[in-house]
A and B are shown apart, each in its own frame.
Chain A
């Protein structure tokens, strides 16, 4: 039963793009609650341990939700729903790839990370190596990752908010910047964690309700939904299409998604907020459950939008299909539900950017200021002050970069962030945890190789060379769309070979202490 004909869908009147009373009301409620939490958190955020790591007081369940909040961005919610609506099954293949890093994170590094680290992942890489060079290199890898991720989020948020609320792009950027700075600056990690928890809860509820109403329209039988999609767009909508044509490219993208997660500084920093390794492990179980559920139901929303709204209407509002989920919300629940979903998407953007800003600021203040400039001898007050200045500077930079890149094609930047994360941060992190012979020189060269190879190769890949820089098709010097398979391998190899060529007796001696902490948690902070 195709419940809606194309004509009926074409006649949909949408309030999308105008600020409506419900959308503004929901948005103000969310902002009021999160700012109240920030006020509460600010009183509990005095020391560095509180600012960077919420006093290690976050429970496994809370951290599971906060991790999900950090990871489920507006881009994945609106983008994947739109991709499924417009491209069908290919969007679903894409959704699967975003989940599979989480188990790997649990099996390989969640527990050692918690046992070895203090505030940043560089603490773990530099655990038994020479502090200054390793921290500078790790900060380069970490900040590059966060920077590209942030640009993608800020540019996306400006256009999304413009589409949903009709606000000018620059105004949207400033609003995001100011509110998220309030969270991070005053409430540190505790406020940021609670913002993530609230946002993850709202997002999961909103999408669940959306899925429930869609399924209700098809008698709770997904088969009927697929039949409606197939009737309107042909059976091809339910079959794999052009997303994976080159298996090597697909595996390379898969590696970036899987191991990139293990190198995202804002995700890794969450593991320092729980009390112990067991809580770290269990929080990944929760996160994988929430995020897996999210990626299972998003395609239903996408297919629902295709069947009930129609691709043409969705493309008319936004070529990329980003408005599929909001349009569907309005169609099934009227202006109030659209307002709710739009406000949730806004909250999602705020939360993700807040998490990124905190990670970048921690890297500047804890890794560079304290361990490089002050030689590890900064007082508690100096470090808190430095971290707040770094937060402010990074927040302003995020807004300015968002405005600078207005209208640019930045979709590749998320892929680039994952490529750098898996090529620069992940190899050094794992080698440092598991390999006794790893040396300072090995770590520095591994990180730099991974970072610059990932950036360099993506510039000469079809993604940037042809799609962004508009060079003719087929002129890209590097054939793969995502460089991970080359840059990650090279980073591991360089780390291995350089370590063998240099020898660091002190690092090898300290490996005993490290093992004791990694496996037994003895001496963990």
Chain B
């Protein structure tokens, strides 16, 4: 099986799988960074922006804080949907190729 393993790992398909996984993870991670560190740096550099009122007394900072949490969760939803529909079938196919025959 050793030769098969090596062949599979060197195959275009496996390399594409690894690259797609890395790309998806990195893009989602960057979005997470952008939302959270964006929020933190906004507090650090522009407090008046967050302190502005959007209702009678409610400040913009309150919904924005909630939005960062919801955005983080939505990113996990995106990843799971991607992995379940795109990544897993490809993994199953490559596994069958290696172990099936």
Contacts and interface: CB of A to CB of B under 8 A. Distances in A.
Given A96-B69, A103-B28, A108-B29, A244 B76 contact: no
Interface string A393-435: 0000000000000000000000000000000000000000000
Nearest to A286: B76
A102 B68 CA distance: 13
A374 interface: no
Main secondary structure on chain B at its contact with chain A?
helix
Given A89-B62, A226-B57, A240-B50, A292 B72 contact: yes
B72 A99 contact: yes
B57 A100 contact: no
Contacts of B79: 103, 106-107, 281
A473 B94 CA distance: 61
A4 interface: no
A238 interface: yes
A92 B28 contact: no
A177 to B, nearest CB: 34
A11 to B, nearest CB: 26
Nearest to A236: B51
A522 B99 contact: yes
Interface range on chain B (Cβ under 8 Å from partner): 35 or more
Nearest to B51: A239
Contacts of A336: none
Given A96-B39, A100-B36, A240-B50, A226 B28 contact: no
A253 to B, nearest CB: 9
A507 to B, nearest CB: 16
Interface string B65-101: 1101110110111011001100010010011001100
A254 interface: yes
A324 B76 CA distance: 32
A515 B9 contact: yes
Contacts of A166: none
B28 A521 contact: no
26 contacts: A95-B65, A97-B36, A99-B72, A103-B76, A103-B79, A106-B79, A107-B29, A107-B75, A108-B29, A226-B55, A235-B57, A238-B51, A238-B57, A238-B61, A240-B50, A240-B51, A244-B40, A247-B41, A254-B37, A254-B40, A278-B84, A281-B79, A292-B72, A512-B9, A519-B21, A522-B99
Interface of A: 89, 92-93, 95-97, 99-100, 102-104, 106-108, 111, 222-223, 226-227, 229-230, 235, 238-240, 243-247, 250-251, 254, 258, 278, 281-282, 284-285, 288-289, 292, 295-296, 299, 512-513, 515-516, 519-522
Given A106-B76, A251-B40, 20 more contacts: A89-B59, A89-B65, A93-B43, A95-B65, A103-B76, A107-B25, A107-B28, A108-B25, A227-B57, A230-B57, A235-B57, A238-B62, A239-B50, A244-B40, A244-B44, A245-B44, A282-B80, A516-B8, A519-B14, A522-B95
